[in-house]
Amino acid sequence: MSRSGLRGGRNGLSGGWSDGSSGDPTVDTYIRAAKAAGLKPDGPPLEEGLLAALLQQRRPGPAIGRATGQQELVPYQEQIARWVREDRLQLTRVWELLDGVSVSYTTLRRFVHQMGLGRRARTTVRMAETAPGEVAEFDFGRLGYLVDPDTGKRQLVWALVVVLPYSRHSFVWPLVQQTLQAVIEGLEAAWRFLGGVPQRLVLDNFPAAVAGYDPLAPRPTRGFLEYSQARGFLVDPARVRHPQDKPHVERGIAYVLGEEPYDVPVWRTVTVHPDHHVSFGSALYSVPARSCPPGTKLEARGDRSLVRLYRHGELVKVHPRQPKGGRSTDPDDYPQERTAYALRAPDRLVHQAVLLGDHVGIFAQRLLSGPLPWAKLRQAQKLLRLGERYTAARLDAACARALAFDLIDVRRLERILALALEGAERPVPLLEDRLLVVPPGRFARPGTAFDHRPPKHEEVRP
């Protein structure tokens, strides 16, 4: 029975509502379930949550993992999981190894999917939006070849693409060489078109701008560094072979930030993406990662003001309705270990560092202090990973030793842990004790000993 049938059927069942005998067994089943929920024929309209719950109770079909063929696979569940996850065998090979179990390949595949025995899918995290004018992403793309009519030679033409992540405004400038002069000329045209210069520029590691790749301490070329200082923006090269560091310019997606509210509710079946969001009405909405892992099918109901997400009739999330191209993200929906990275929030990184130890928290506060904390976010994230690798106790001791020497450097902190210097018995001397006064040399001569000029004779006047 559908939602409309259950709504409309209640108004015409006054005769069979009292004794539960309407003449139709299916209708009688729903009448008994509705009466158990406290509904009356002349009561208020059915709510969506209660209506979905009634339909879910009477949904036909076997429960997950209880099909006849799947029951034979339950004793082999651990062995199947070991073959798939540890030995990384294909399901066709697993089906061949299940000697004595007469099930079809389709039943085996359904059993592995429903019981969560397959390989865990790689998930991504959708980053939080940046402030207007905070960052721009910059990359190159190939436009094609042009033929010189005089020489007949082909010349490759590049496209310099600049994208503002907040507004998704894009600028394209053609050029034939990726030299410093040509790139700066294109960037100058981009700033004039966009009406300003961003605070930070995320760019690719091309030789005219980046002298040497280093994920923690990038080294721009002298010419590009001078240009960035003259225009007042921070150079932030992306990591090599990590296109997700500048996804807006990599994908080249055009976003329309319009507002077109719906007059009536709309129902859709949506799928949870690897970034823990679902797409509804050309907008994105987050879902709890614990109860709705990637690949989960949900029912979405959207009206003019709210979007409600249901799983098997149970309400799992409510978001305010977003316009096309918009997004509503609840930080608590992300897995705990990914929240700080997804939100680009220095205060969240400091909070996680405090949980590893007091000295780790102080080290993180010192590291992220300053007018541009996002320039140190990768070092702060590496600081948290050191706690996972070397344990929180060792990291806290290493931070205490580094702070005693006023050493705020994640690389040298990692070297302290690698050499196990955090537990050295020698106490760390105070700063004033480490400042030694150099005594004068025993055979040192005064400066006049090196003056070989002849003495001046005074004239004697009569």
State the average pLDDT over residues 223-230.
86
Amino acid in the structure at residue 216? L
Each residue of 434-458: pLDDT tens digit? 666 767 666 777 777 777 888 766 5
Q: Which residue matches tokens 């989960």?
A: 296
Residue 339, number of CB atoms within 10 A of its CB: 17
Residue 11 has pLDDT above 60, yes or no: no
Order across the sheet with 306-311: list the strands: 266-271, 297-302, 306-311, 314-320
What pLDDT does 64 receive?
A: 44
**Distance in angstroms (rounded) separating the CA atoms of residues 403 and 397:** 10
Alpha carbons 324 and 280: distance in angstroms, whole number: 9
The predicted pLDDT at position 261 comes to 32
Query: How far apart, in Å, are the Cα atoms of 197 and each of 35, 181, 215, 234?
Result: 66, 18, 24, 11
Give all strands (DSSP E) within 247-351, no chain letters. 266-271, 277-280, 283-286, 297-302, 306-311, 314-320, 327-328
Nearest to 29 by CA among 3, 57, 49, 8: 57
Of 160, 237, 248, 231, which is closest to residue 197 (Cα–Cα)? 231
pLDDT at 162 over 70: yes
d(CA 29, CA 114): 29
Q: Among 179-183, 247-251, 415-419, which is the least confidently predicted range?
A: 247-251
Give the integer Cα–Cα distance in Å for 130 and 306.
24
Those residues whose C-beta lies under 8 Å from the C-beta of residue 376, and which sit 6 or more positions away, are 367, 368, 370
* 327-328 and 283-286 strand pairing: parallel
- At 414 the pLDDT is 92
Q: Please indicate whether residue 462 or residue 56 has the higher confidence score (pLDDT).
A: 56
pLDDT number for residue 21: 59
pLDDT, averaged across the chain: 78
Report the residue count for the chain. Answer: 462
CA gap 315, 318 in Å, rounded: 8
**CB-CB neighbours of 352 under 10 Å:** 21
Residue 442: enclosing H or E segment and its boundaries? Answer: none
* Angle CA 275–248–171, to nearest 5: 165
Q: What is the mean pLDDT of residues 40-64?
A: 61
Residue 45 has pLDDT above 50, yes or no: yes
DSSP labels, 82-123? IIIIIS---HHHHHHH-TT----HHHHHHHHHHTT-SPPPP-
Q: Which amino acid is at 214?
A: D
Residue 412: its pLDDT value, please? 92
- Is pLDDT larger for residue 56 or for residue 351? 351
pLDDT tens sequence across 266-323: 888 999 988 889 999 889 999 998 888 888 999 998 887 889 999 988 899 999 989 9
What is the rounded CA–CA span in Å between residue 168 and residue 163?
A: 6
Q: Is-above-0.75 flag for pTM?
A: no
- According to the model, what pLDDT value does residue 31 have? 72
Separation CA 297–CA 307 (nearest Å): 16
Q: Can you read off the two tokens belonging to residue 55?
A: 């339909």
Q: What is the per-residue pLDDT across 72-117, written as a single tens digit (0 to 9) for each?
A: 888 888 888 888 888 888 888 888 888 778 888 888 888 888 877 7
Beta strand residue intervals within 312-446, DSSP E: 314-320, 327-328
Q: What average pLDDT does the segment 142-151 reach?
A: 83
Q: Is the dihedral of CA 147, 148, 149, 151 positive or negative?
A: negative
Half-sphere exposure of 145 (CA within 13 A, CB side): 7
Tokens standing for residue 271 = 């799928």
